[in-house]
Amino acid sequence: MHSNGKLPSLQSVEIDMCEECILGKQKRVSFQTSGRTPKKEMLELIHCDVWGPTTTSSIGGKHYFVTFIDDHSRKVWVYFIKHKYEAFEFFKRWKAMVENETGLKIKKFRTYNGGEYEDNTFKKFFYDHGIRLERTIPGTPQHNGVAERMNRTLTEKGRRIRKQLAYVHISDQGRNKLNPKSKKCTFIGYGRDEFGYRIWDDENKKVIRTRDVIFDERIMYKDRHKNDASDSAQSGPMFVDYVPDTTMTKSIIRNPQQENYVGQTSSPQSNMIQPSSLAPILKRSTRPHMPNKRYMNYLLLPNEGEPECYYEACLTSDASKWDLAMKDEMQSLILNQTWEPVELPKKEGVDYNEIFAPVVKLNTIRTILSIVVIEDPHLEQLDVKTAFLHGNLDEEIYMHQLEGFSKIEKGNMICKLKKSLYGLKQAPRQWYKKFDNFMHKEDFQKCNADHYCYIKRFNMSDTKPVSTPLASHFQLSKDQSPQAEEDKDYMAKVPYASTIESLMHVMVCTRPDIRHTVGVVSRYMSNLRKFHWEAIKWILRYLRGTIDKCLYFGNDELKIQGYVDVDFGGEVDHRKSTTGYIFTVGNTSVSWMSQLQKIISLSTTEAEYVAITEASKEMIWLRGLLRELGFKQENNVLYSDSQSAIHLAKNSAFHARTKHIGLRYHFIRSLLENEVLTLGKIQGAKNSTDMLTKTVTIDKLKMCSTLVGLYE
């Protein structure tokens, strides 16, 4: 109407605040209903609350419990306490535990505005440990909603716990011989710090921690005290399936006026069950019951236990399978010549003293598995069939013939054992001695920390040292791959890959003198031959003779210098060239590389030109690193022994013999134009990178090592 001009113009009038309205109508400010994103890291925010007191105490006499909830993972820790002031002590214990387990620190702690958090000791502890304390406004539990909701969850679970009947084994010390071996108790949960179950002994009013329990899945705690005559009317409430009376339903539909007076509708008394005023009729639920899937595991348990003797094995349903197993075991005993038939000796006696045998520690197994996961060596598992039968006896032992396998008909003939047997006290020790002798023959050494842990590296400790990383007669190629099955079987057993891995670690860290040779032998890991393995052992012999050789860091000028060289077409299989470069800072090697070029060069000049470009990229990176560390570099020189490659880099004119070189390799020209680095000429005899591209003589190797700070 106002838009149609039927009302006079209206003016906006601001109404003053009405104090009476505020006093009479004010309500609480609404809370945010949208969800909040959890924190990104554990222990970044912890929610805490103390619940209680309750009139019903716990088994330990506790009336409160305190909860600690991680906002990121929503994991909850619950501790029962007798008094509210104990919450601080339990918090300190919990803090030490979770910070030790996670390696993180608690950053923020949120709790309600309780009196137990007003203590100055509590506040000082938070201040000293750098924890921010957040407390809610009085009467506003919504600000601590995570902890409050967890309190509800825990109490609701506590009200609907279903306790299960369990039979607990009574130890021999706690009963007479003719007394029952178990008693009825109630399963209440699992141990937190111990293995086994937590069982409530209603008779002695205490909690039992045990693993010897048999559960009765049919009977719950509420059914334990039912009388056998549970079907009588006096035994409890009657459960019937509720069936609505059709007569009453029809009368209601037929006479709508009596809708508000259903109680006046008459129906035959014989068709209705009159509910008692004291015990109302309960309706049975028609909801289908889904069995718990974890009980399916019991189907895997055998119906029959293992037989304890030959007679019981013959009576089982699997008698034929037991017969095959016994025959297989007997065959092993015969093949190992475990006994021989002899006459029964006239004198009985016991003749053994030492029965101790070491057993591998589980800590050792877990440690080795951790090494396998981290270092990724090759892992194999083996099993020795009838292991105890391989041990040789040091004493004379006699035994009766096995039941069901008696083949000696003469008089008092028995079996004299020649080797150990299962069940003998000496058997573990005799097997260990046999196994220990075998491992020593295979050049394994026993660990001092665990005598069942043996070590065998590469068996190169006693070899004769050599003076060069690789001799000139080692001309390796893929054509030398094994052809005969004997060679293939031999190479399958040698630790070629693990040896290469160890050599690469030494090569990368401190030994540039073996960089080229390790790169050569690592090309044939997928197809090995004895000749390749001999080259590996040659490198190990060289390292043994130069074990004290190391990089020497002096106090010379902090300046980068680089050296680059190429072995043109030296690779046998594809005729690719090998690039080698090395950089020094203060006349000590800090970076080195030896690798095949990705292209096949057509000339020595081209190969040297490509190598210079690759080396220049490493120099740029080193310059940037030192610049960030506060050491600006100027006039850095990269030395090469190829004058033609240097001229090609400095002269950007078109050449017919270089037009095919990839554009990326002309990167060196832009560096020279911008004066980022300088190319210098060095004599080939003084180029230290010769040892990174080819096999060199002893004198040349010593000279190259000295130039780059590698001394013995």
Tokens of 184: 């009825």
In tens, the pLDDT along 475-484 reads 666 665 556 6
Q: Do 692 and 513 meet the contact criterion of CB atoms below 8 Å apart?
A: no
Q: What is the pLDDT of residue 259?
A: 40
Question: Does 677 lie in the same domain as 566?
Answer: yes
Write down which residue in 197, 223, 249 finishes a domain.
223
Q: Is the pLDDT of residue 104 over 90?
A: yes
Write down which residue in 516, 547, 578 finishes a domain.
547
Rg of the chain over all Cα atoms, to the nearest angstrom: 44
Backbone angles phi, psi at 133, to 5 degrees: -100, 125
Question: Does 496 lie in the same domain as 413?
Answer: no
Q: What is the pLDDT of residue 653?
A: 58
Q: Is the pLDDT of residue 370 over 90?
A: no
Tokens of 544: 């043994």
User: Does residue 284 belong to any structural domain of this protein?
Assistant: no
User: Does residue 312 belong to any structural domain of this protein?
Assistant: no
Question: Does 687 lie in the same domain as 562?
Answer: yes
Q: Is the pLDDT of residue 186 over 50?
A: yes
Output the CA–CA distances (angstroms, integers) from residue 90 to 95, 108, 136, 158, 484, in the order listed.
8, 17, 21, 22, 71
Question: Does 585 lie in the same domain as 440?
Answer: no
User: Does residue 628 belong to any structural domain of this protein?
Assistant: yes
Q: What is the pLDDT of residue 99?
A: 93
Q: Mean pLDDT lowest for which of 99-113, 404-418, 674-688? A: 404-418
Q: Do 101 and 91 meet the contact criterion of CB atoms below 8 Å apart?
A: no
CA gap 125, 103 in Å, rounded: 20
Mean pLDDT, the chain, whole residue set: 75
Q: Which of 359-363, 492-496, 507-511, 570-574 has the highest mean pLDDT?
A: 507-511
User: Does residue 36 belong to any structural domain of this protein?
Assistant: no
Q: In 3D, which of 150, 159, 67, 156 has the Cα closest to residue 114? A: 67
User: Does residue 21 belong to any structural domain of this protein?
Assistant: no
Output the CA–CA distances (angstroms, integers) from residue 184 to 347, 348, 369, 700, in the order listed.
52, 49, 44, 88
Q: Number of helices (H) and strands (E), helices first, in the chain?
A: 17, 24
Q: What is the pLDDT of residue 659?
A: 62
Q: What is the pLDDT of residue 98?
A: 92
Q: Mean pLDDT lowest for which of 7-11, 226-230, 550-554? A: 226-230
Question: Does 401 lie in the same domain as 504?
Answer: no
Unique residue bearing structure tokens 């003749």? 351
Stretch 369-396: mean pLDDT, rounded?
71
Backbone angles phi, psi at 560, to 5 degrees: -85, 135
Residue 203: which domain range? 164-223
Q: What is the pLDDT of residue 66?
A: 93
Question: Does 694 lie in the same domain as 579?
Answer: yes
Q: Which residue has the higher pLDDT, 171 or 340?
A: 171
Backbone angles phi, psi at 127, to 5 degrees: -65, -40
| pLDDT grade for 660, boundaries at 50, 70 and 90 | low
Output the CA–CA distances (angstroms, integers) from residue 628 to 586, 620, 686, in the order listed.
18, 13, 32
Q: Is the pLDDT of residue 106 over 90?
A: yes
Q: What is the pLDDT of residue 472?
A: 64
Q: What is the pLDDT of residue 229?
A: 41
C-alpha atoms less than 13 angstroms from C-alpha of 478 in its C-beta half-sphere: 10
Write down which residue in 524, 547, 570 finishes a domain.
547
Question: Does 566 lie in the same domain as 539?
Answer: no
CA gap 204, 168 in Å, rounded: 13
Q: Measured between alpha carbons, how far apart are the two ends of the chain, in Å? A: 105
Q: Which residues lie below 8 Å from residue 391, measured CB to CB, with a gap of 6+?
A: 419, 420, 426, 427, 429, 430, 431, 432, 433, 434
Q: Which residue has the higher pLDDT, 690 or 487?
A: 690
Q: Which residue has the higher pLDDT, 189 or 528?
A: 189
Question: Does 649 lie in the same domain as 576?
Answer: yes
Question: Does 204 lie in the same domain as 112?
Answer: no
Q: What is the pLDDT of residue 479?
A: 64
Q: What is the pLDDT of residue 100?
A: 92
Q: Which residues lie below 8 Å from residue 428, measured CB to CB, with a gap of 6+?
A: 355, 357, 359, 388
Question: Does 678 lie in the same domain as 574?
Answer: yes
Tokens of 354: 């030492």
Q: Which residues lie below 8 Å from residue 103, measured CB to CB, with a gap of 6+?
A: none
Stretch 297-304: mean pLDDT, rounded?
61
Q: Which of 47-51, 266-270, 370-374, 649-653 has the highest mean pLDDT?
A: 47-51
Q: Mean pLDDT lowest for which of 216-220, 575-579, 628-632? A: 216-220
Q: In 3D, which of 395, 400, 386, 387 has the Cα closest to residue 355? A: 395
Q: What is the pLDDT of residue 416?
A: 75
Stretch 66-93: mean pLDDT, rounded?
91
Q: What is the pLDDT of residue 351?
A: 54
Q: What is the count of structural domains for the chain?
A: 5
In tens, the pLDDT along 634-648 reads 888 899 988 888 888
Question: Does 694 lie in the same domain as 594?
Answer: yes
Q: Which residues lie below 8 Å from residue 74, measured CB to CB, with a gap of 6+?
A: 38, 146
| pLDDT grade for 7, boundaries at 50, 70 and 90 | low
What percentage of residues in the chain have a pLDDT greater than 90? 8
Backbone angles phi, psi at 545, to 5 degrees: -75, -20
**10 Å Cβ neighbour count for 116?**
19
Q: Mean pLDDT lowest for which of 198-202, 460-464, 576-580, 695-699? A: 460-464
Q: What is the pLDDT of residue 270?
A: 42
519: left (phi over 0), alpha (psi -120 to 50) or beta: alpha
User: Does residue 15 belong to any structural domain of this protein?
Assistant: no
In tens, the pLDDT along 429-469 reads 777 777 888 877 777 777 777 766 777 665 555 566 777 87
Q: Is the pLDDT of residue 58 over 70?
A: yes
Alpha helices in 510-569 (DSSP H): 515-521, 530-545
CA gap 94, 466 in Å, rounded: 61
Q: What is the pLDDT of residue 568?
A: 85
Stretch 500-510: mean pLDDT, rounded?
84
Q: Mean pLDDT lowest for which of 205-214, 249-258, 507-516? A: 249-258
Q: What is the pLDDT of residue 244?
A: 47
Stretch 93-108: mean pLDDT, rounded?
92
Q: Which of 15-29, 122-136, 391-405, 458-472 has the highest mean pLDDT?
A: 122-136
| pLDDT grade for 107, boundaries at 50, 70 and 90 | very high
User: Does residue 304 belong to any structural domain of this protein?
Assistant: no
User: Does residue 655 belong to any structural domain of this protein?
Assistant: yes
In tens, the pLDDT along 264-276 reads 444 444 444 444 4
Question: Does 558 lie in the same domain as 706?
Answer: yes
Q: Is the pLDDT of residue 15 over 60?
A: yes
Q: What is the pLDDT of residue 263?
A: 40
What percentage of residues in the chain have a pLDDT greater than 70? 71
